[in-house]
């Protein structure tokens, strides 16, 4: 099939490349000229394991093209996927869908034959209705169909999540459209993916509710981990003990510094904003947002306690600064709250991250990037394990025999027994 993907960010580039890999003809469009030129050279704008190889393979095979030309690209294709960003509006919880709407206004002149317009961007419920209304002012209704097909990719696991999704949700009441999309996703359905056709509004809402539910699980286990710390119970036992109940499930019960990233913080807030418009009180999600926002203060308090409230001139090393492992994404990373607060108290911060230097800290005099993990560790009064990269899991701390290391493991990546037996001062979460 001939597909046009608009927006070469995370969702667009991964989906476009994977669709090409399934044998479709794909044009990925972006208005950032440099990004498009780089993509033609195989330079990927963000870190995602396996993506560069897949882009190169499909670009070389002529199935994947990159362009800045919106209208021509739409004209040449049958299905148009909208994959532009929907960030949180400034000083508000609401999702900013202006990029989507701008695009819709621009594309009407390119609808020269029947086209399926798919929103893969996360958009609030009823956005599809609004898109349809705008397009139908200029285009005959018979010539287009607006569908919601939300994306459930996780950064760092995106290719696998695309190829082996738990479910594919397609929101349309239009039979012809559903048939075409079911065919497009056929190779994934035959590998076992569930295909769910719903109303367009339901599909839009499923995306938000999924992320809100997962965020709730995390906030829930984080609060329970606070209770575990006070009662000498290991959170690992609780996560396993409840997770083995199939109704609860074991995943997303890992405690930590709170959820971050470009999705959970944004989507939980956007859902609250939508609910408010309909005069609905989503009190559980409200508490989840608050609980997660309070979490960094709690972690900070624990850091102060570990350092006996003497922060001035203390050397603190962060292992990993992105919002989670296997990504270079800093959006809503908890350390963007922790590091400035520690600096304010006079701490000296070094950080090591497998994805390199981060511009987010360039204006801080006392924050430096260490290329060498060992020198970063040796330098420190406190080591904070902030993300769960595999290379941190196999670190040989024994080499620092001359020093009694103090480690605060925010991701519980080490065995508590092993660490205390090695004579480290070891702190973790909920145990
Ligand atoms: C999330 C969803 O998992 C995807 O299904 C969805 O498609 C995506 O948002 C999106 O809306 O685009 P992502 O933000 O990439 O994906 O990352 P996750 O792996 O879900 O992690 C989110 C945050 O929760 C991270 O800060 C992570 O460290 C934290 N987390 C996750 C925990 O603290 N504990 C857990 O048990 C799991």
Angle between helices 10-21 and 51-60 (to 10 degrees): 50
DSSP character string of 226-263: HHHHHHT--HHHHHHHHHTSTTT-STT----S---SSS
Closest CA to 214 of 244, 162, 252, 248: 252
pTM to 2 decimal places: 0.96
Span 268-290, pLDDT tens digits:
999 999 999 999 999 999 999 99
Span 245-275, pLDDT tens digits:
999 999 999 999 999 999 999 999 999 999 9
Catalytic residues: 263
170 alpha carbon – ligand 1 mean position (Å): 22
Structure token digits, residue 224: 């329970």
Structure token digits, residue 404: 């009694």
Find out whether 265 and 332 touch, Cβ atoms under 8 Å: yes
Closest CA to 127 of 147, 145, 152, 106: 147
Q: Of all atoms in ligand 1, which is nearest to the CA of residue 332?
A: 26
Residues framing ligand 1 (Cβ under 6 A): 122, 151-155, 211, 214, 218, 252-254, 256, 259-261, 263-264, 267, 323-324
Q: Of all atoms in ligand 1, which is nearest to the CA of residue 151?
A: 7
Span 145-182, pLDDT tens digits:
999 999 999 999 999 999 999 999 999 999 999 999 99
Mean pLDDT along residues 180-208: 98
Q: Which residues are registered as beta bridge partners of 64?
A: 26
Structure token digits, residue 297: 């203060």
DSSP character string of 72-110: HHHHT-SEEEE-----BPTTSSSB--HHHHHHHHHHGGG
Long-range contacts of 301-308, Cβ-Cβ distance < 8 Å, separation of 24 or more? 302/408, 302/427, 303/338, 303/342, 303/382, 303/384, 303/408, 304/345, 306/382, 306/406, 306/408, 306/425, 306/427, 307/381, 307/382
């Amino acid at each position: 099939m001939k597909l046009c993907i608009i927006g070469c960010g995370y969702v667009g580039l991964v989906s476009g490349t994977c669709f090409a890999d399934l044998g479709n003809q794909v044009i990925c469009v972006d208005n950032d000229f440099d990004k498009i030129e780089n993509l033609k050279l195989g330079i990927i704008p963000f870190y995602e394991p396996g993506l560069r190889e897949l882009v190169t393979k499909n670009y070389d095979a002529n199935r994947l093209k990159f362009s800045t030309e919106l209208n021509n690209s739409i004209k040449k294709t049958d299905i148009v996927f909208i994959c532009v960003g929907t960030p949180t509006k400034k000083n508000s919880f609401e999702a900013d869908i202006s990029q989507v709407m701008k695009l819709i206004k621009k594309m009407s002149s390119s609808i020269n034959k029947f086209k399926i317009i798919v929103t893969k961007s996360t958009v609030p419920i009823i956005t599809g209705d609004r898109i349809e209304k705008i397009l139908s002012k200029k285009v005959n209704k018979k010539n287009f169909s607006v569908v919601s097909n939300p994306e459930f990719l996780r950064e760092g696991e995106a290719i696998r999540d695309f190829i082996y999704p738990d479910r594919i949700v397609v929101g349309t009441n239009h039979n012809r459209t559903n048939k075409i999309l079911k065919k497009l996703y056929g190779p994934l359905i035959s590998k076992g993916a569930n295909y769910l056709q719903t109303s367009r509004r339901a599909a839009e809402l499923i995306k938000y509710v999924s992320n809100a539910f997962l965020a709730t699980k995390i906030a829930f286990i984080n609060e329970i981990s606070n209770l575990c710390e006070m009662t000498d119970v290991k959170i690992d036992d609780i996560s396993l003990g409840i997770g083995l109940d199939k109704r609860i499930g074991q995943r997303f019960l890992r405690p930590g510094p709170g959820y971050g990233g470009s999705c959970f913080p944004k989507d939980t807030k956007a859902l609250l904003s939508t609910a408010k418009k309909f005069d609905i009180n989503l009190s559980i999600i409200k508490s989840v947002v608050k609980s997660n926002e309070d979490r960094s203060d709690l972690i900070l308090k624990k850091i102060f306690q570990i350092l006996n409230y003497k922060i001035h001139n203390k050397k603190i090393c962060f292992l990993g600064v992105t919002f989670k492992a296997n990504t270079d994404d800093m959006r809503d990373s908890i350390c963007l709250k922790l590091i400035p607060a520690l600096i304010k108290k006079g701490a000296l911060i070094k950080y090591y991250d497998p994805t390199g230097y981060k511009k987010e800290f360039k204006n801080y005099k006392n924050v430096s990037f260490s290329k060498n993990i060992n020198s970063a560790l040796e330098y420190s009064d406190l080591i904070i394990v902030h993300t769960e990269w595999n290379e941190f899991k196999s670190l040989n701390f024994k080499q620092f025999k001359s020093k009694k290391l103090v480690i605060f493991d925010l991701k519980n990546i080490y065995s508590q027994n092993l660490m205390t037996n090695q004579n480290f001062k070891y702190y973790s979460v909920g145990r």
